[in-house]
Each structure stands twice: as structure tokens, then as C-alpha cells.
Amino acid sequence: MANSRKDKTRNAWLEMLAKHKFDAEAPATDQIWSPSLECASRDELIGIQNDKLRILTPFLYENSDFYRRRFDKLGLTPTDIQTVDDLTKWPVVDKLEMMEDVKERPPYGSYSTMDEELWNKRGWMLFSSSGSSGVPRVFRYSHIDRDLWEWANARAIYSFGVRSSDTVFLASGYGPHVFAWGVQYALQRMNVASIPGGGMTTDMRANLVERFKPTVLCCTTSYALHLGRVMQEKGVDPAASSIRMLFVGGEPGTGIINTRNRLKNLWGAEIREFYGCTEVAPHSGGYSCSHSEVSEDLVATHLMEDHQIWELVDPDTLAPVKEGERGITVCTSLNSESSPQLRFNVGDYTVYSTEKCGCGRTHVRAMGSFAGRSDDLINLRGIKMYPVQLEQAIRAVPNIGDEYEILIETIDSGLDIMTARVEHTEDISDQVINEIKTQCEVTVSVEVLPPNTLPKTEFKAKRVRDERAK
């Protein structure tokens, strides 16, 4: 009987996913892949979300032990959550809750809706969170997920302006991380040529840009800076190269205006952002369009609302905030067979706007893009700041090196202090101190190092070292 309920809810969920998959194989217009979805009215988008939620909750209850236990513990049934308005009945799921589940039920935890039998039948690929806490969370995806994934990513990348005349160079690793794989499969769906750049040194990648003339570079923001500098050292001007577009993701950057301007000056290229996370948006959750630059100091990122429900909540109370107010992102995934999630705390700061974009798309936009995760908060002697604020301050100093490091430690007196280690040919300590004081309201020490002293960023930048006494 239990298997019958599982199969019934799974079949209903798969039918629902197929029902809302429009313009799946090819773009409908020369600008927008799926106008019926990407230009839907607010009422139509909410209708799609409600349609999916109604089928999702019984599917989660019957196929995920993690969700069944949580429903029972909260005294809720799947029928209690049928619409977007019902979501606040369900407390936000935190990654720490998933970590505990993995500890108790290794190695995969029980939050997936894919059991061993199904994995053996149509398992596609396994991805993992970074495991920086020592407890990596694993997410297993099916071939149905792969198909949904590449379609969603194709829609996002098409919105960038990438077309079949382009060649995309993926200067990223191909480990158990969602970014490069998702892009690779989407480009295949789009009939766009690609050059996989995993396992290559930066010198090799610089030579490849010169030799094969790709038109789009796909990597993290920090690596785009590093690759461009290596090309300059080799006597090659990145701005004069074949690269016409930077396609970045994996870390904050496009919304940090000083970093964005540095990239634009270095490469002389358009910048587009690809936003997601392993837990709820392994395909694109957010993406840039041709109208992403709202002004000189403001960019906007679309969120895919037919695939996910994106909420903004107060970081302390987790209560919803009003449109136009700053909050952290919470996502309900509506586009997966094996890993739909209900109100997962992604935790990135932004402000939402439902105003129609100049590109014609109607999905909610993150104004200013995303400004770092709530769990990255730094508390120094009662003064709170985020790494993105420090980056904005340091990048404001003219001609400062691309690499920097923030060291936080406890000195013998018991006082916690912060040191910014930066690269420059001159003593620019006072400028760095003043910029950080202005942005973060904290006084720091500055260590100025010769250029090329600090390690170069090869993947996601980890610039804050917190070595305080615990």
C-alpha cells in the first residue's frame, strides 16, 4: 500500500512537471525562449506555483522520510500547504537541519525523494555541497532532472544573448559541483559549441583563449580577474581578445559595483550572472538579461518563478518582508524529481521588485543582485559586516591588486582585531583603512604586500580567515 501511494504521488508530480514545460526543445522567439512562462502575468505565475505546490506536498510526504518526519512533528498534513499563501505554516528549512540528517543517516541523508531502487534505475549524477563544516550534503539527480535542468539553464543562458554563433569556454572545474555540468548540458540543448576547461592550468587557459578564440568566458568572478591578469602578464590584452561576454556564477561579484567595473575594464566585455545553489536551484535560479544594468550602480537579476518560489524573509525572525525591503532568500524548488525542497533557507541578501523588466520578462528581480550569505556575517567587537562590504571597500582603492585577504585573530590582551592584507607597489594603507572605515564602520590594520604575493584564486574565492580564539 505504501509503495502504491509513493508511485501514485510520483506519477502525479512528473505529470505536473511535464504540464508546465513549454517551448522545451527550442526557443520560441529571437529574444525569449519561452514567452508563455517568462512573460506570464503575476496571477499566471502564482497559478503555476499553486498548481505545483498542490501536487508537491503529498509527493514529498510519501517519498522523503525527512519531509514526512517534519510534517508529522509540526502536526501538518500535505493538504495544509496547497498555495503560496500557505507556505508560512511551514518553518524555513536550514542547511544545519540537513547536516544533522546526514549525520544520523549517512551518507545521503533522507531529504531526497529518490531511494536506492530508483537511483539504480535512472540515477544520473551525484553532486555535493562544499562540506566546509565537515558535513558535506549529497544530492542525487535522475535523468529526468537532467532534462529539466538543461532546459531551465538553456532558457537562462539564452536570455544572456548567447547564440549558436558563440563558443563558450568553461574555465571551471568539473568536480561534484553543479555549475559547470549544468552549463555544459544547457549549451548542448542550445546547439552552442563549448570548450570544457576543467583540469587546466591558468597558463593553458590563457593560451586557449588566444588560440581558439571563444566568444564567451564562463567562470567565477574572481577567476575571471585572475585569468585576465595572467593574459596581461603574457603580453595579451583581455579587452582585445575574442571574449565578448563574461558569464559568471558561484560567488558574489556582479552586484559589487567596484568588482563589476574592474571586470568590465579588464575584459571590455558584457557581464551576465548565473545564480543558483546545490540544494534547491542546481539549474539556474537567477539569471541576467540584456537589461540587467538598471543604472551605473545598480544591476538586477531575474529569478525563475515558474521553477521556484522565491521569498524574502527577515534574517532574524524569518518572517516575510515586504517588496522593496531587504531580506534573505528562501526558495521552494518546483522543478525536480529527486530534490524538490520546501522553503529552504538559501540566505542571500537582496531586495525584490516585481516591476516588469525592459526585456519583457515579468519574473521577480533581485535588485542589486545578491550581496552575500547571512551565515557569512562577521561580528568584530560588536560591529557587524559582510565580506561583500569589505570587497567593495578594498576594490575602491585605485590600482590595488585583485587578490586580498582578511585575517581576524585574537591578540594576547584578548582583543579581536582585523587585518586586511592587500597587494600594491606603494603604501596605500591609509586609503584602505579609510575605505573600510567608511563602508564597515570599523578600524582595521593593513598589511601591504608586493604584487603576486597572495595565492591566486582558482575557483571560489575564500578571502576571510577567522582565526579567533573560540
DSSP conformation class of 80: G
Give the CATH number, domain containing residue 61.
Answer: 3.40.50.12780
Verify that 79 and 197 share a domain, yes or no.
yes
Above 50 in pLDDT, residue 228? yes
How far apart, in whole angstroms, are the C-alpha atoms of residue 95 and residue 303?
21
Q: Give the domain CATH number at 418.
A: 3.30.300.30
Same domain, residue pair 390 and 333: no
Same domain, 311 and 407: no
Nearest to 370 by CA among 280, 277, 464, 436: 277
Q: C-alpha cell of 52?
A: 505545483
Do both 337 and 460 map to the same domain?
A: no
Residues 434 and 364 reside in one and the same domain: no
Q: Are residues 387 and 307 in the same domain?
A: no
pTM: 0.84
Q: Show the 3-state SS of 365-408.
A: EEECCCCCEHHHCEEECCEEECHHHHHHHHHCCCCCCCCEEEEE
CA distance 267 to 231: 10
pLDDT of 320 reads 96
Share of the chain above pLDDT 70, in %: 94
State CA 344 to chain mean position distance: 14
Task: Check whether residue 226 and residue 175 sit in a common domain.
Answer: yes
Q: Which residue has the higher pLDDT, 277 or 288?
A: 288
**What average pLDDT does the segment 305-328 reach?**
95
Better-scored residue on pLDDT, 391 or 411: 391
pLDDT band at 353 (very low <50, low <70, confident <90, very high): very high
34 contact partners, CB below 8 Å, separation of at least 6:
22, 23, 27, 28, 155
pLDDT of amino acid 413: 62
Q: Could you give the number of structural domains in the chain?
A: 2
> Quick one: CA dihedral 67, 63, 25, 37, positive or negative?
negative
336 with 399, same domain?
no
> Has residue 18 got a pLDDT over 80?
yes
Distance CA 236, CA 207 (A): 10
pLDDT of residue 463: 85
CB 247 within 8 A of CB 180: no
**pLDDT for the residue 460:** 65
C-alpha cell of residue 90: 511551514
**Residue that is last in its domain, among 335, 360, 375:** 375
Q: State whether 361 and 416 are in the same domain.
A: no
Q: Are residues 337 and 452 in the same domain?
A: no
As a whole number of angstroms, the distance between CA 388 and CA 19 comes to: 40
Which tops the pLDDT comparison, 85 or 374? 85
- Residue 122 CB neighbour total at 10 angstroms: 15
Nearest to 255 by CA among 334, 372, 167: 372
Q: Which amino acid is at 430?
A: D
Q: What is the pLDDT of residues 359-388, one digit of tens each?
A: 999 999 999 988 767 667 777 766 767 787
Residue with cell string 526558495: 331
All residues at 6 or more sequence positions from 61 whose CB lies less than 8 Å from its CB, including other chains = 9, 67, 68, 71, 77, 78
Which of 355, 375, 395 terminates a domain? The answer is: 375
Which of 307, 342, 375 is the last residue before a domain boundary?
A: 375
pLDDT exceeds 90 at position 6? yes
Burial 288-312 (b: 16+ CB within 10 A, else e): bbebbbeeeeebbbbbbbbbbbbbb
pLDDT top residue among 136 and 112: 112
Q: Which residues pair with 139 in a beta bridge?
A: 127
Beta carbons within 8 Å of 324's beta carbon, 6+ residues apart: 351, 352, 353
Higher pLDDT, 430 or 173: 430
Domain that holds residue 94: 1-375
**Same domain flag for 324 and 427:** no
pLDDT of residue 55: 98
Query: Which amino acid makes up residue 221?
Result: T
Helix boundaries (H) for 110-248: 116-122, 143-160, 178-190, 202-212, 221-233
Asked whether the predicted pLDDT for residue 133 surpasses 50, the reply is: no
Same domain assignment for residues 402 and 322: no
What does the pLDDT average to over 322-341? Answer: 95
What distances in angstroms separate CA 279 from CA 140, 240, 331, one per listed residue? 10, 38, 9
